[in-house]
Chains A and B, each alone.
Chain A
Amino acid sequence: MTTLRPFTCNDMYRFNNVNLDPLTETYGLSFYMQYLAHWPEYFQVAESPSGEIMGYIMGKAEGHGENWHGHVTALTVSPDYRRLGLAAILMNFLEDVSEKKRAYFVDLFVRVSNKVAINMYTNLGYIVYRTVLEYYSGDPDEDAYDMRKACSRDVKQKSVIPLNHPVRPEDVE
């Protein structure tokens, strides 16, 4: 049960119960503000009936020509509100916006170790388009899957033909 609405600055004061979870990063203010200013329609928050933040999605649209696509920058759901289909609702929203913007596909990066998330994205129709080597810095660095789902504009589904070879982070724009 969800109230889906645009993310506001004030939500940054209230998203602690989501962000204190180890899998969600808290970024510097400018990062959120850039997204809010540039792609406000892509930054949505899901609120519970009791007014708590259950999760949010942050994204953007970028690329030229047939590479014009929606991108999921962050998707997170509070531990108390998992397994309610919330991530799917948020992803649907982002995909809808991307459709309206006439994007060719939607993509996202995910740690190769994050089985739960990979599984969820697969169920939502995403495929592993390519592997990005050592995309996440850490000890040791971790590879990312670049996952994609085609939008209706990509009639021939050209954007989702997987690459055979992994790429380096510098090859990803």
Chain B
Amino acid sequence: MSTLETAAQSDTLCRVAIDPLSRVEGHGKVTLLVDRDHRIRQARLHIVEFRGFEKFIQGRPYWELPVVVQRLCGICPVSHHLAAAKAVDQLLGIEQIPPTAEKIRRLMHYGQTLQSHAVHFFHLASPDFLFDFDDKVAHRNVVGVMADHPDIARQGVKLRKYGQEVIRCTAGKRVHGTGAIPGGVNKSLSLRERNDLLTDIDLMAQWARNIVKLMKIAYQANPAYFIHFATIRTNYLSLTRADGALDLYHGGLRAKNEQGALLFDHLDYRRYAQVLREQVKPWSYMKFPFINSLGPDKGWYRVGPLARIDNCDFIATPLAEEERKEFMALGNGEPIHVTLAYHWARMIELLHAIEAIKELLLDPDIFGDELVAKGEMAPREGIGVIEAPRGTLFHHYRMNEDGLIEKANLIVSTTNNNQAMNESIRQVAERYLDGKELTEPLLNQIEVAVRAYDPCLSCATHALGQMPLYVELVEEESGTLVDCLVRDTDGTVRNEASALAAGN
């Protein structure tokens, strides 16, 4: 772990904040503490919003979970919808849902992966590859991409739209649908919906191949930069299918260390608590998960597209598998640790999602009418895990005898990458910013490092009662801090306006 997490004497240092982080989902900021010689002494990624879903779903009926909890997010709600649905299946004691239900859920999930990856790459991240770091801020965004690269922008918009259509056909709405219900789904596909979706699928695959090629060109243009920027050697965690294939919907937990050796494999994800722990740090609303056997200092890991491609043995769809082989060849037998390669891996997954959608659209089971398996309600725990676009997503619930939720624990994809994102910005701070007078283009590199992970900050802030809570009273017109109420980690409440300044 980097030594830049906490500075020794913060009161003598100058504070620089990147607030808010731009072109990420949700609200976050990065703070740097810098000494008089422009040496970086501390670098932290902060999540400044607070959601509290784990608390307020307590006392709600179990069948609400997939619909309520997906409201965590507007980008990847399907992942929460399906992780909750998988957990609810277990609450009812259902081990197997009908083939039609599983395939519709998978179709929904691949549509989600497609649209989310397209949003991130085209709308948020592509300016990092298409423009220089010192490009004007007003131009370094999707509007600039539309002006200078209209074909790429148009493909991005249409790829996302296609993914949204897949979601609409399976969940009823493009955002926040109701398709997955306890034990299955509430609709199958109509022939018309299937035929409409098939019309453009080959064009989508072609565009996806082009964008994977674009990533390769970006890498080849400056391999030294690509390989070193924000790169950290880490462990990796993901689900894989029983045969080792990439599987975004279901599988066993697999973790590899930085050399690529297995830490555990095919672990039933309902046993996640045996191998994973979460650490709370007083300066962030986001928890810090780690692999229990390695401890918090060495056990942190990465999830998401890079981890999944690193961890799987193969991809079951041909075009994406071809790209995976080429990608993995760069690692010389080790996992790829290159942080910017997240984008490349993400586009390989986007291609895989399109191939998987086509396979499912050609499967007659998607028209079936056996949609739900029935279960029996009893006091139980249910754990649903899925590979969301940003990584492994855990939903864990406990239900009482009346069917109401008593306890919930969510380990959201972005949360898994918390330590890694912090380490990456510290690497960038040390390598590119240390000793230099900070300028906007230099600070932009910090954002580029965070953006590679595609963090969804709004999804990831749920712990309640464990971190200090600041309530600020700010004058509306001047923005002046009038008062500040602080609840500390031990539960004591104090009134301290000055605490804000010290607490970053």
- The answer to whether A and B come from one shared complex is no
Residues of A at under 8 Å CB distance from B? none
